[in-house]
């Protein structure tokens, strides 16, 4: 096993649970590995490390620190919980159901997003907005020549005022594990249009999903509808 693989296995065990102790095998080359000894003969031992088994010959080993059967059982239970959680998340993804963390703020649900796979932006969930809407400041971070644009529509802001805006298409918009390409959007030309976030997550994105907001759990649940094949 390479040093890189060894480090990965040890790192994996760090997530196995704060109270679980494992068997520790000390090698003559100065390295060590934690796990559960599942087999031992006069010539070798086999160590379970959560993602598989590793065999060491006794000639490679300088010392072994053994944990109790109860501690080994706890470690194995922690590994099983991790496996079940990962399998559950995998099934959710395959079924097209995603859970996105939200940030409740002043009665609004904010989500962290990535625009064009490079710019981070915080968007407010707004089912009353036909489009995804970005502030001119956020558009500038996308290297869009805002100053050279001419507005072609007017948008009604939450304040009740109208503001000039420019329609355009986002190359991509992602939140959590969900990514959509070619999303209809608008840039609103009004300084300070959005004070505590960067824009609105409107229906040009949300219409492709059945969605539910759980403010108590601080979660946005998205279930993709048929008709788009670029979600991931």
Residue 52 has pLDDT above 80, yes or no: yes
Q: How many CB atoms lie within 10 A of CB 185?
A: 23
CA gap 18, 140 in Å, rounded: 45
Q: What is the DSSP secondary-structure string of 149-206?
A: ----EEEE-TTS-EEEEEEEEEEEEEETTEEEEEEEEEEE--TTSSSSSSEEE-HHHH
Give the tokens for residue 109. 């649900």
| pLDDT tens sequence across 176-204 | 889 999 999 999 987 777 888 999 999 99
The whole model's pTM is what? 0.58
Higher-confidence residue of 26 and 22: namely 26
Contact 218, 145 (CB under 8 A): no
Q: What is the pLDDT of residue 124?
A: 93
Question: Among residues 49, 15, 50, which one has the least CA distance to residue 32?
Answer: 49
Specify the CATH architecture of the domain 97-224. Answer: Beta Barrel (2.40)
Q: What is the pLDDT of residue 90?
A: 66
Mean pLDDT rounded to a whole number for the chain: 83
C-alpha 156: how far from chain center: 33
Task: Delimit the domains of the chain by residue range.
Answer: 3-94, 97-224
Give the tokens for residue 149. 């644009």
Residue 2 has pLDDT above 70, yes or no: no
Backbone φ/ψ region at 218: left (φ over 0), alpha (ψ -120 to 50), beta: left
Q: What is the pLDDT of residue 131?
A: 93
| pLDDT tens sequence across 90-126 | 666 566 788 899 999 888 899 999 999 999 999 999 9
CATH number of the 3-94 domain? 2.30.30.100
| pLDDT tens sequence across 125-177 | 999 899 999 999 999 999 988 877 887 888 877 667 788 899 999 999 999 88
Q: What is the pLDDT of residue 84?
A: 79
């Amino acid at each position: 096993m390479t040093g890189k693989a060894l480090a990965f296995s040890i790192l994996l065990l760090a997530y196995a649970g704060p109270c679980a102790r494992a068997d520790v095998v000390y090698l003559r080359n100065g390295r060590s590995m934690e796990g559960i000894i599942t087999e031992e003969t006069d010539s070798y031992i086999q160590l379970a490390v959560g993602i598989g088994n590793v065999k060491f010959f006794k000639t490679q080993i300088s010392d072994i620190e053994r944990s109790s059967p109860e501690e080994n059982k706890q470690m194995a239970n922690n590994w099983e919980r991790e496996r079940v959680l990962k399998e559950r998340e995998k099934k959710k993804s395959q079924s097209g159901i995603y859970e996105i963390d939200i940030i409740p703020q002043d009665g609004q649900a904010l989500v962290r997003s990535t625009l064009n796979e490079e710019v981070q932006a915080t968007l407010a969930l707004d089912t009353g907005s036909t489009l995804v809407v970005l502030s001119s400041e956020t558009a500038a971070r996308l290297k869009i020549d805002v100053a050279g644009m001419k507005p072609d529509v007017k948008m009604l802001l939450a304040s009740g005022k109208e503001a000039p805006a420019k329609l355009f298409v986002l190359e991509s918009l992602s939140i959590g594990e969900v990514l959509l390409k070619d999303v209809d959007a608008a840039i609103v030309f009004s300084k300070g249009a959005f004070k505590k976030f960067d824009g609105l997550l409107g229906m040009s994105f949300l219409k492709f999903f059945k969605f539910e907001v759980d403010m108590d759990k601080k979660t946005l649940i998205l279930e993709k509808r048929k008709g788009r094949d670029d979600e991931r």
